């Protein structure tokens, strides 16, 4: 858009399209630990998301971060209490930064822990926001989103950009189906450079 100021000079206004970022916290944490060689990278999640949006020449509308509180047995074990305190401090900081934190729950079965409800929350938020936002950036790898993505693209013409990670080792923890990559409009491989110069201390 081009307009003129009172002096008669031409002023160029660039109207950028809005975007929302949906981050699967467990997936991002897994990538961070892998790139940090088992030690999580020190990076600011808000700056990380904004960096991805900037690369696409879009304007950041909102950032959603999906996670779940650590498992609590109800017996007030010291390690469980400490993990919960650390978690609360972490998510409260995200909220203060303006990030919308959406929480599922942690389930324990046969000493194995798994997130429950997170994928459903992501799907709900995509469907709710699709009519008003035309660009979604996903940091996830779950093919369960494919039907929702296809439906949203057909009804709302929303563009999906997915950032993912692959260590190119067959059957590794980062192995994923190409199905979700194929239905997204753009797929971008995350690299360690995407985490550079966005440390928490900056």
Q: Is residue 77 part of a domain?
A: yes
Q: Is residue 162 part of a domain?
A: yes
Condensed to tens digits (0 to 9), the pLDDT of residues 52-67 reads 999 999 999 999 999 9
Q: What's the pLDDT at 6?
A: 57
Q: What's the pLDDT at 107?
A: 80
CATH of the domain at 57: 3.40.50.1010
Q: What's the pLDDT at 2?
A: 46
Q: Is residue 6 part of a domain?
A: no
Got the DSSP string for 67-112? E-PPP--SS--HHHHHHHHHHHHHHHHHHHTT-EEEE-EEEEETTE
Domain count, the chain: 1
Burial level of 110, CB count in 10 A (0-12/13-18/19+)? exposed
- Please indicate, yes or no, whether the overall pTM of this predicted structure exceeds 0.75: yes
């Amino acid at each position: 858009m081009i307009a003129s100021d009172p002096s008669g000079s031409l002023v160029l206004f660039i109207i950028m399209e809005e975007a929302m970022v949906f981050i699967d916290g467990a997936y991002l944490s897994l990538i961070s630990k892998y790139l940090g060689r088992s030690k999580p990278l020190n990076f600011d999640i808000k700056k990380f998301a904004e960096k991805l949006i900037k690369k696409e020449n879009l304007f950041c509308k909102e950032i959603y971060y999906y996670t779940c509180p650590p498992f609590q047995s109800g017996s007030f074990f010291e390690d469980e209490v400490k993990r919960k305190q650390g978690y609360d401090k972490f998510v409260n900081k995200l909220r203060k930064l303006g990030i919308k934190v959406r929480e599922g729950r942690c389930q324990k079965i046969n000493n194995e822990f798994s997130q429950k409800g997170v994928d459903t929350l992501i799907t709900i938020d995509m469907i709710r926001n699709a009519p008003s936002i035309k660009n979604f950036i996903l940091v996830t790898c779950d093919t369960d989103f494919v039907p929702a993505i296809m439906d949203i693209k057909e009804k709302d013409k929303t563009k999906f950009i997915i950032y993912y990670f692959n260590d190119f080792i067959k059957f590794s923890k980062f192995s994923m189906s190409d199905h979700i990559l194929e239905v997204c409009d753009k797929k971008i491989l995350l690299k360690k450079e995407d985490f550079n110069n966005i440390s928490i201390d900056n």
